[in-house]
Amino acid sequence: MRHLLSLPQLASRAFSTTTRQMRNKVLERQKVFLEDNGLPVHIKGGTTDVLLYRLTMTITLAGTAFSCYWLLRASMPRGKAH
């Protein structure tokens, strides 16, 4: 029972910022995204952003093609069964 009573205290320690100081990276990231280097904003984050963008575009195009295929197939009349 004693362990259950100490659970809220342990949870607050786990999420406390006083034990681990976190560095604010917002200004560094703003510099990267505000830099005028001719890149679109969705790929300024580097290789990871480029890969995620290409994966998203691939999934979107494949889903669109798949949907169009099934819409076309559903719109065609079926042949007569023997």
> For residues 41 and 34, what is the distance between their CA atoms, to the nearest angstrom?
9
CB 43 within 8 A of CB 50: yes
> What are 7-22's pLDDT values in tens digits?
777 777 666 655 567 8
Q: Does pTM top 0.85 for this prediction?
A: no
- What pLDDT does residue 5 have? 72
Rg (CA), the chain: 26
Q: pLDDT band for position 57 (50/70/90)?
A: very high
Domains of the chain: 26-76 (4.10.91.10)
Q: Say yes or no to pLDDT of 41 above 60.
A: yes
> What are 68-79's pLDDT values in tens digits?
999 999 999 888
C-alpha closest to that of 45 among 59, 56, 35: 35
